Amino acid sequence: MKVICVIPCGKRKIWDNEPGLGAVPAASAYTGVFHRLCQQYARTFYEEWFILSAKHGFLKPDDLVPGNYDLTFNQGSPEEITADALKQQTREKGIGDAEKVIMVGGKKFAPVLQRAFGFQALFPLTGSKGIGDMQRKLKAAIEHDCKLEEKIHEENKN
């Protein structure tokens, strides 16, 4: 079964501290604590993982990010990657045939991934009580080498 892991990019980027730096690999571009924990989790438990960017779409860890930007999904920006472009990327990057997609991030990514893959992604951080709780769960999973339960995000659950 083809399984891929997707992690969110993050607001903090390497160019915040090094503005003159040129293009860098996606794995080095995003510097926030949450992103770093997500990346460590993905590296620990999944063979194939991608960073999801509202500007660049699905990034392999070694894909180059040309420079700084500040963009999130569903803000109505013309710079936001379209659902059609995301679908196209799944084919180009060889992940369109994934049978299981794990999103190590919040529920806001559910509709984006649904449109890209045509099925619901699984969210191991569902039920978390905020970013601090998510970080705690990721740290514990990595420390104990114990993958989090992969759940479908259910909109009606509290």
Parallel/antiparallel/unpaired status of strands 24-25 and 57-59: unpaired
To which H or E segment does residue 57 belong?
A: strand 57-59
pLDDT of residue 50: 98
pLDDT of residue 74: 85
User: Per residue in 52-100, pLDDT tens?
Assistant: 999 999 999 999 999 999 999 988 889 999 999 999 999 999 999 999 9
Going by pLDDT thresholds of 50, 70 and 90, the confidence category of residue 154 is: low
CA distance 142 to 53: 24
| Contact by Cβ (8 Å): 73, 109 | yes
Q: Which CATH number fits domain 3-143: 1.10.8, 3.40.50, 3.90.350, 3.30.70?
A: 3.40.50
Q: What is the CA radius of gyration of the chain?
A: 15
Q: Where do the structural domains in the chain lie, given as residue ranges? A: 3-143
User: Per residue in 10-43, pLDDT tens?
Assistant: 999 999 999 999 999 999 999 999 999 999 999 9
User: Per residue in 93-149, pLDDT tens?
Assistant: 999 999 999 999 988 999 999 999 999 999 999 999 999 999 999 999 999 999 998
pLDDT of residue 158: 36
